């Protein structure tokens, strides 16, 4: 097996060799629990006109305030191999602090230490794999700085397959956008990269939900045939066989996405949160790689676009972030939705601190700093 090595990789007692990691070996090393701070929409708003989404009775979506190192292990006891779709947009190791207004959203400096960042990333991938359902999918969203390292680590954690038919790597998706910086010394960097990995060869994927119509404009070397009623068919001959396609057929989307715009500063969708991603991007991912009522996880939820889109599309969700600002923005975004379902706000709490959290009324009484 090809393996990426960095300082400290095998000094971390909780993660020795990936193949040996199971829930039983991970959990004893953690003492974090999820404490309920508040409940929202116990009586959900009336269903939005036209929606057919039905969430499992008794289920409460979860918004969790806490670092992923605490939140993910705490979820394992209940949700090991239960998450159908995971999307993460983690720090990119930019060497910057990101602010929303005057408030610090998150620090992405890492003391310029690549080893520290790779260890952090590796631990994340190991835990996410344990949470991912056998037919689940993981999307990792990064950019040019560390995407190549992430792919090698993911190949180790999920397994390598050269033909992409087994478990492991499925796609490298290029999200190309118009905005971005200019440079005199290199080509302008105008894309992010999303890596799609699965836990098995059997996974959810619906290209027909997100593809576009073949249409009437010329593609490749196909021959255009206009029928008497004006309808267009396209034909192409390959290996001695003639293939025919209707203008209304849905084409499988390619791995280069250039039709989703980056959010500009004055975009009405913007919440003010640094590094916010467009809702259209998450809508595409959720539609392609999950079914209604599936469980979606995002442990770097930022502005809340993942839980918001998951809820809009009738999926259950768990979202977390270490940033108090991110949790506040996500909470407000969810409560403003006409389709808002019930959810609980939780905090990742270490066992040693639980004596200050004897019951749920502590939050309302001010024992913990209010999120709202």
Most confident of 289-298, 340-349, 352-361: 289-298
CATH fold for the domain made of 31-48+55-206+257-365 = Rossmann fold (3.40.50)
The first and second tokens of residue 74, run together, are: 């705490």
Q: What is the pLDDT of residues 182-208, one digit of tens each?
A: 788 999 999 999 999 999 999 999 999
DSSP 69-132: HHHHHHHHHHHTTTEEEEEE------SEEEEETTEEEEEE-GGG-HHHHHHHHHHHHHHHHHHE
Q: At 85, is the pLDDT very low, low, confident or very high (cuts 50, 70, 90)?
A: very high
The answer to whether the CB of 84 falls within 8 A of the CB of 256 is no
Q: What is the pLDDT of residues 31-67, one digit of tens each?
A: 788 999 999 988 655 554 344 455 567 899 999 999 9
The whole-number pLDDT of residue 16 equals 46
Q: Angle, to 10 degrees, between the axis of helix 305-312 and the axis of helix 279-289?
A: 50
pLDDT exceeds cutoff 90 at 105 = yes
The reported pTM is 0.89
The whole-number pLDDT of residue 353 equals 61
Q: What is the mean pLDDT of residues 120-128?
A: 95
Question: If residue 238 lies in a helix (H) or strand (E), which one and from where to where?
Answer: strand 232-238
Domain boundaries, the chain: 31-48+55-206+257-365, 212-251
The answer to whether the CB of 32 falls within 8 A of the CB of 349 is yes
Q: At 316, is the pLDDT very low, low, confident or very high (cuts 50, 70, 90)?
A: very high
pLDDT exceeds cutoff 90 at 326 = yes
pLDDT exceeds cutoff 70 at 328 = yes
The whole-number pLDDT of residue 174 equals 98
């Amino acid at each position: 097996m090809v393996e990426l090595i960095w300082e400290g990789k095998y000094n971390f007692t909780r993660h020795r060799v990936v193949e040996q990691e199971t829930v039983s070996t991970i959990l004893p090393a953690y003492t974090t629990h999820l404490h309920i701070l508040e409940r929202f929409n116990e009586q959900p708003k009336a269903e939005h006109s036209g929606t057919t989404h039905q969430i499992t009775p008794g289920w409460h979506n979860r918004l969790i305030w806490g670092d992923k190192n605490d939140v993910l292990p705490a979820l394992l006891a209940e949700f090991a191999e239960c998450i159908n779709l995971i999307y993460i947009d983690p720090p990119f190791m930019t060497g910057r602090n990101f602010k929303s207004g005057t408030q610090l959203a998150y620090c992405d400096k890492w003391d310029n230490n690549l080893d520290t960042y790779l260890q952090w990333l590796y631990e994340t991938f190991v835990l996410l794999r344990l949470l991912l359902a056998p037919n689940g999918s993981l999307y990792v969203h990064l950019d040019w700085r560390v995407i190549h390292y992430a792919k090698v680590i993911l190949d180790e954690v999920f397994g390598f397959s050269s033909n992409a038919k087994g478990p492991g790597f499925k796609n490298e998706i290029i999200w190309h956008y118009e905005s971005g910086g200019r440079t005199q010394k290199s080509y302008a960097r105008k894309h992010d990269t999303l890596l799609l990995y699965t836990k098995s060869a059997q996974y959810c994927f619906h290209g027909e939900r997100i593809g576009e119509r073949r249409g009437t404009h010329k593609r490749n070397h196909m021959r255009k045939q206009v029928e008497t009623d004006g309808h267009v068919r396209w034909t192409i001959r390959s290996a001695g066989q003639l293939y025919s396609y209707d203008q209304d057929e849905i084409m499988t989307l390619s791995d280069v996405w250039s039709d989703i715009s980056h959010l500009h500063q004055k975009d009405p969708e913007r919440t003010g949160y640094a590094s916010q991603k467009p809702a259209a991007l998450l809508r595409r991912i959720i539609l392609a790689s999950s079914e209604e009522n599936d469980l979606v996880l995002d442990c770097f939820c930022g502005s809340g676009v993942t839980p918001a889109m998951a809820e809009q599309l009738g999926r259950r969700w768990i979202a977390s972030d270490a940033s108090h600002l991110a949790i506040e923005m996500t909470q407000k975004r969810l409560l403003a939705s006409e389709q808002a379902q019930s959810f609980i706000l939780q905090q990742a709490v270490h066992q040693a601190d639980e004596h200050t959290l004897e019951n749920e009324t502590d939050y309302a009484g001010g024992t913990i700093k209010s999120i709202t």
